[in-house]
């Protein structure tokens, strides 16, 4: 099946894993900045999102797991999720250690400034990881449920259906835990939940053509029939 492929499946899997982990770690590191984004939407008009910048790279993780699920199968997708969890725990330890050290008088970034940016990383990463594990494993299992039910047809159903449900779980869980830990106030919970989930739904819908393009290209590249997986 793999006669001199331009990209070996193991190499591609490693690249996708790297993108997944980078997007996950980045979203956890930058989450404390919130911004406003106004966009025009059909039937609604101008709508202003009030969301964390951490939400910008995070949807990439669901796109990657969907691509891996489609091409490599559920086991390989689960492995990426576990790898992302381990990488996040490692980064949390590094950041907490760095925050504990005493800055020199000439340090460009002082201890107080560093603590302001990264001091809440511990509670935040705990909340994020609980939501992350629940959402990612739900996403993978719903994806394969629809793939089996539709006999490998209708990519858009499993791509959007699995992502939308799992993103609702992720957004509500992480915001709930962040409110419990006092990272954000409870009064902001409804608006952030609505804005965060709505934003992720829009991203899930807009990345569908890219998902189709990637899976079509990879199936052709690896000589896979519709619905077939590399590890099947």
Residue with tokens 């719903």: 142
50-106, pLDDT tens digit by residue? 888 988 898 899 899 999 999 999 999 999 999 999 998 898 889 889 989 999 999
pLDDT of residue 107: 93
Domain boundaries, the chain: 9-222
Q: What is the pTM of this model?
A: 0.85
Angle between helices 208-222 and 59-71 (to 10 degrees): 30
Cα gap 170→134, rounded to integer Å: 7
Strand, helix or coil for residue 167: helix
Six-digit token string for 111: 């201890």
- 9-222 domain in CATH 1.10.1760? yes
Cα gap 96→106, rounded to integer Å: 21
Residue by residue, pLDDT tens for the chain (232 residues) are 444 456 788 999 999 999 999 999 998 888 888 888 888 877 778 888 888 898 889 889 989 999 999 999 999 999 999 999 999 889 888 988 998 999 999 999 998 989 888 876 666 677 778 888 888 889 899 988 988 888 888 888 888 888 888 889 888 988 888 788 777 889 988 888 888 888 888 888 888 899 999 999 999 988 888 888 887 5
Rounded to the nearest 5°, which phi and psi values hold at 106?
-100, 5
Cα gap 124→55, rounded to integer Å: 14
């Amino acid at each position: 099946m793999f006669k001199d492929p331009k990209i070996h499946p193991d190499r591609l899997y490693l690249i996708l894993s790297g993108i997944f982990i980078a997007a996950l770690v980045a979203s956890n590191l930058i989450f404390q900045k919130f911004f406003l984004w106004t966009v025009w939407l059909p039937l609604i008009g101008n709508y202003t999102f009030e969301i964390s910048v951490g939400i910008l790279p995070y949807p990439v993780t669901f796109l990657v797991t969907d691509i891996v699920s489609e091409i490599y199968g559920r086991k390989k997708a689960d492995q990426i999720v576990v790898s992302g969890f381990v990488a996040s725990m490692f980064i949390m330890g590094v950041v907490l250690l760095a925050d504990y050290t005493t800055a020199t008088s000439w340090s460009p970034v002082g201890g107080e400034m560093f603590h302001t940016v990264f001091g809440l990383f511990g509670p935040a990463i705990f909340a994020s990881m609980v939501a992350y594990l629940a959402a990612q494993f739900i996403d993978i299992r719903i994806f394969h449920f629809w793939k089996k039910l539709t006999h490998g047809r209708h990519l858009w159903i499993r791509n959007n259906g699995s992502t939308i449900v799992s993103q609702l779980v992720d957004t509500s869980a992480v915001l709930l835990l962040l409110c419990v830990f006092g990272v954000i106030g409870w009064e902001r919970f409804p608006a952030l939940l609505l804005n965060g989930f709505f934003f992720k739904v829009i991203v899930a819908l807009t990345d569908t053509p890219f998902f189709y393009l990637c899976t079509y290209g990879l199936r052709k590249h690896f000589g896979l029939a519709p619905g077939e997986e590399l590890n099947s």
